Amino acid sequence: MPELVIRNLWRGFSSGGGLRDISFEVEAGEFFVLLGPSGCGKSTLLRLIAALDPADRGAIDIAGTRAGHGAVAMVFQNYALYPHMTAFDNIAFPLRLMKLGHDEIRRRVAACARTAGLSIDLNRRPAELSGGERQRVALARAIVREPRIILMDEPLSNLDAQLRASLRVELKRFQRDTGRTVIYVTHDQVEALALADRLAVMRAGRIEQIGSPRALYDAPANEFVASFVGQPPMNLVRARIAPDRKSLLAGDSVLRIEPPAGAPDEVILGIRPEDLSLDADPAKVAIETTIERAEFSGARFLVVARFGSAYLLTESVEPLHTSERRRFYFERSRIHFFDASSGRRIPWADPSP
Amino acid sequence: MSRREVSMPHGAGAAFIRRVAALAIVLGAALPIYLLLKQAVTPEIESFAWPPLWLPRRVTAAHLESVFTVVEFRAAIIRSIAVALVCGVSATVMGAMMGYAMARSRWGRRAGMTAVTATRLLPMTAVALPLALAFILIGLYDRPSAIGLALVHSALALPMTALVLFPAFLAIPLELEEAAFLDGASPLRIFMTIDLPLARAPLAAAFILSFILSWDEFGFALLLQVTNRTLPPLLYYYTVFGDVGAASALALLMMIPAICVLVALRTVLRGALMAGSLR
């Protein structure tokens, strides 16, 4: 039974933006990520679920009950810890409102602090804590009331990169240990792919695609999802289908790829950087490129190659030189087709393995 | 060359001149206070001596004693403290509510700003007489408790406390209130447990300012408490009717809260600045 059901949710702003006809379900115990660029409505949606703002139309059902406080807790981007209270009082605040006994509060705060990985003196105030510690206090406060759903609004975005990576791991462990449903908002697709059981990619107030990270990565529903999910992003190249429908014209080249049935004349080809290879293979499609730039990035070089008027991003182990002519190879089945006018994915007729 | 001429004079000579100028300003401000002190502790005959005496010849504690022994003085002191306390508390409480409404709702801000400026437009003297009449009718006029005057002072102080507290509440991130809402707190609870404690320093400043406003207020006190006086009109009467010694002693006494406030406000305001980082 789904923990959260959202049906035909609308929310408008006079300034534009807002949400347009959002519907989805989240299962109990799921780590659900809302991913999208800033201004796409993901935080707006989170606030509606938290009942901080009203919806214009539509329904939000949380495990059969209406949205409202009690069922959900939230971890804010800036943690929103009460600066005049100690860490203990911050975590105990929801319990005091429930008028629980002194010992009961003490016991539950200690338990939640442990779950959140807090090993500090709880008599300190937020101003005396590090970013990571504040984060953990906020997590402990969110679970102390045992809500059905925990909402998280970019909780890692205020931390430095190193801490973010380690806290990401901890966050996932935390969610698994508590078994709570988490709805997590982020604009960082690396974070989204790493954390999510399922994710929804949003743009301009709409959900573009919902699915597992693997599903979104392997079969993006449209050009936007294709470019947004994956790092480095998928290469997108405009192409025309040749009149004989046996090959494609892209840049100045003719590619021996038979387009999927039902493709319009104008398409966008998508190819992930990691699917491009320098190893010659007659079974694969070859494209002729000019190396534009190769940036050293540790184990590999990040390569920008020019193909016609388009630029392709890829990675290589060997150093490449600017203006060098190189041939890249890729498998036909790794190519994604999108309708050039609507951006929608054009599936292969028989799903290739 | 010409640039140097327009800049501040500098060098050892200029520093000396600046120091002398600063000393003159300090002396100018301190002189009346010194004279007050001298008049309070010397017999009256010295206060009216010609040429004026700069140093006291004889010292007496009679004036200072009278402040605490004369019944009229004692009653006025207690009355003034009571009125100022009532004014400080009620103006701060009401100002907190008004400032909060101004900080958290657009309608509240517009209504609050209009109310604050509109009251400033009215000349106080225009209000004083009708107010005195109304107080006579409802029995608040010249009460020994001076409760009517305390009400007037609260109303006078309210725009000021609201204006002091409005930015203080505005500075409290809305996220904190939203967090408290999700933690299960009611709006009143949020105001009491989140906003008020975080606005502690501005609340103290508002209290002190309204206390002082009432403590110094002369016009309404003169008109509304004709027999049961507070300190400012009493001081006025003693000055006018010539008891310079007692008036000076009373004036010294009236300065004490002002000095306390000056010291307290400095620490409070410094605290308010420190509390600025609420994240």
Residue located via tokens 């006086």: B229
Q: What are phi and psi of B197, to 5 degrees?
A: -60, -35
Same domain, B75 and B197: yes
Supply angle C-alpha B259, B265, B271, rounded to 5: 150
Whether A205 and chain B come into contact, CB under 8 Å, resolves to no
> Is the backbone peptide bond immediately before A126 cis, with ω within 30 degrees of 0?
no
Domain that holds residue B145: 63-274
| Domain A232-339 belongs in CATH node 3.60.15.10 | no
Per CATH, the homologous superfamily of domain A2-218 is: P-loop containing nucleotide triphosphate hydrolases (3.40.50.300)
Whether B184 and chain A come into contact, CB under 8 Å, resolves to yes
| pLDDT tens per residue across span B87-113 | 999 999 999 999 999 999 999 999 999
A–B: how many Cβ contacts below 8 A?
Answer: 56
**Mean pLDDT, chain A, whole residue set:** 89
CA A184 to CA B94: how far, in whole Å?
41
Mean pLDDT of A224-232: 91
Q: Which of B175, B185, B189 sits opposite A78 (nearest CB)?
A: B175
Say if B279 falls within a structural domain.
no
Tell me, what's the pLDDT at A64?
Answer: 60
The number of angstroms, rounded, from the C-alpha of B83 to the middle of its chain's C-alpha atoms is 12
Tell me, what's the pLDDT at B120?
Answer: 80
CA B175 to CA A309: how far, in whole Å?
48
| CB atoms A82 and B185 under 8 Å | no
Q: Which two tokens stand for residue A343?
A: 């951006």
**A:81-120 residues touching chain B, CB 8 A cutoff:** 81-84, 93-94, 97-98
Residue located via tokens 């060359």: B1
What sign for the dihedral angle of Cα A95, A100, A102, A104?
A: negative
Contact B222, B125 (CB under 8 A): no
Predicted confidence band of residue B279 (pLDDT cuts 50, 70, 90) = very low
Q: Which residues in chain A touch residue B279, judged by CB atoms under 8 angstroms apart?
A: 78, 83
Highest mean pLDDT among A130-144, A307-321, B9-23: A130-144
Share above pLDDT 70 across residues of chain A, in percent, rounded to a whole number = 96
Whether A70 and chain B come into contact, CB under 8 Å, resolves to yes
| CB atoms B178 and A80 under 8 Å | yes
Same domain, B19 and B70: no
CA A266 to CA A254: how far, in whole Å?
14
Same domain, B33 and B85: no
Tell me, what's the pLDDT at B1?
Answer: 44
| CB atoms B179 and A74 under 8 Å | yes
Tell me, what's the pLDDT at B177?
Answer: 96
Q: Which residues in chain B touch residue A130, judged by CB atoms under 8 angstroms apart?
A: none
**How far does the CA of residue B263 sit from the closest CA of chain A (Å)?**
24
Question: Is the pLDDT assigned to residue A349 strictly greater than 90?
Answer: no
Predicted confidence band of residue B260 (pLDDT cuts 50, 70, 90) = confident
Q: In sequence order, which residues have a C-beta less than 8 Å from that of residue A211 and are 6 or more positions away?
A: A198, A199
Whether B172 and chain A come into contact, CB under 8 Å, resolves to no
Same domain, B121 and B26: no
Higher pLDDT, B274 or B130: B130
Tell me, what's the pLDDT at A181?
Answer: 93
Q: In sequence order, which residues have a C-beta less than 8 Å from that of residue B124 and are 6 or more positions away?
A: B156, B219, B220
Q: Which residues in chain B touch residue A125, judged by CB atoms under 8 angstroms apart?
A: none
Same domain, B153 and B132: yes
- DSSP for A257-279? -PPPTT--SEEEEEE-GGG-B-S
Mean pLDDT of B70-77: 90
Mean pLDDT of B211-228: 93
Q: Minimum mean pLDDT among A72-76, A114-118, B271-275: which range?
A: B271-275
Q: What are phi and psi of A33, to 5 degrees?
A: -110, 135
**Mean pLDDT, chain B, whole residue set:** 88
Same domain, B238 and B100: yes
Q: Which residues in chain B touch residue A127, judged by CB atoms under 8 angstroms apart?
A: 277
**How many CB atoms neighbour CB A126 within 10 A?**
21
Question: Is the pLDDT assigned to residue A11 strictly greater than 70?
Answer: yes
Question: Is the pLDDT assigned to residue A122 strictly greater than 60?
Answer: yes
What is the domain count for chain B?
2
Last residue within a domain, chosen from B60, B89, B108: B60
Whether B174 and chain A come into contact, CB under 8 Å, resolves to no
| CB atoms B277 and A80 under 8 Å | no
Question: Is the pLDDT assigned to residue B82 strictly greater than 80?
Answer: yes
The two counts, helices (H) then strands (E), for chain B are 15, 0
Predicted confidence band of residue A13 (pLDDT cuts 50, 70, 90) = confident
Same domain, B128 and B36: no
Q: In sequence order, which residues have a C-beta less than 8 Å from that of residue B105 and are 6 or more positions away?
A: none
> Is the backbone peptide bond immediately before A232 cis, with ω within 30 degrees of 0?
yes
Share above pLDDT 70 across residues of chain B, in percent, rounded to a whole number = 92
CA B192 to CA A82: how far, in whole Å?
13
Contact A32, A26 (CB under 8 A): yes
Tell me, what's the pLDDT at A119?
Answer: 86
Q: Partners of A184 in the beta sheet?
A: A33, A152
Sequence ranges of the domains in chain A: 2-218, 232-339
Same domain, B205 and B218: yes
Tell me, what's the pLDDT at A246?
Answer: 83
**How far does the CA of residue B176 sit from the closest CA of chain A (Å)?**
5
Contact A264, A337 (CB under 8 A): no
| CB atoms A76 and B178 under 8 Å | yes
Same domain, B46 and B75: no
| pLDDT tens per residue across span A278-292 | 888 888 888 888 898
Whether B152 and chain A come into contact, CB under 8 Å, resolves to no
Q: Which residues in chain A touch residue B189, judged by CB atoms under 8 angstroms apart?
A: 97
Same domain, B52 and B73: no
Question: Is the pLDDT assigned to residue A209 strictly greater than 60?
Answer: yes
| pLDDT tens per residue across span B120-150 | 888 888 888 899 999 999 999 999 999 999 9
CA B201 to CA B274: how far, in whole Å?
10
Contact B249, B67 (CB under 8 A): yes
| CB atoms A78 and B194 under 8 Å | no
Please tell me which residue of chain A has the smallest CA distance to B274.
Answer: A127
Higher pLDDT, B221 or B48: B221
Tell me, what's the pLDDT at A37?
Answer: 93
Please tell me which residue of chain A has the smallest CA distance to B173.
Answer: A80
Q: Which of A52, A84, A94 sits opposite B184 (nearest CB)?
A: A94
Predicted confidence band of residue A351 (pLDDT cuts 50, 70, 90) = low
Tell me, what's the pLDDT at B51?
Answer: 82
Q: Which of B173, B183, B279 sits opposite A94 (nearest CB)?
A: B183
Whether B178 and chain A come into contact, CB under 8 Å, resolves to yes
| CB atoms B180 and A145 under 8 Å | no
Last residue within a domain, chosen from B10, B40, B60: B60
Whether A182 and chain B come into contact, CB under 8 Å, resolves to no
Share above pLDDT 90 across residues of chain A, in percent, rounded to a whole number = 53
ipTM: 0.84
Same domain, B68 and B12: no
Q: Which of A50, A81, A98 sits opposite B182 (nearest CB)?
A: A50
CA B70 to CA B21: how far, in whole Å?
43
Q: Which amino acid is at A223?
A: E
Q: What is the CATH number of the domain that holds B267?
A: 1.10.3720.10
Question: Is the pLDDT assigned to residue A353 strictly greater than 50?
Answer: no
Tell me, what's the pLDDT at B48?
Answer: 82
| CB atoms B184 and A97 under 8 Å | yes
| CB atoms B183 and A97 under 8 Å | yes
What DSSP element (H or E) covers B97? Answer: helix B71-104
Tell me, what's the pLDDT at A235?
Answer: 93
| pLDDT tens per residue across span A37-80 | 988 999 999 999 998 999 999 999 888 665 445 688 999 999 99
Same domain, B196 and B129: yes
| CB atoms B179 and A80 under 8 Å | yes
| CB atoms B183 and A72 under 8 Å | no
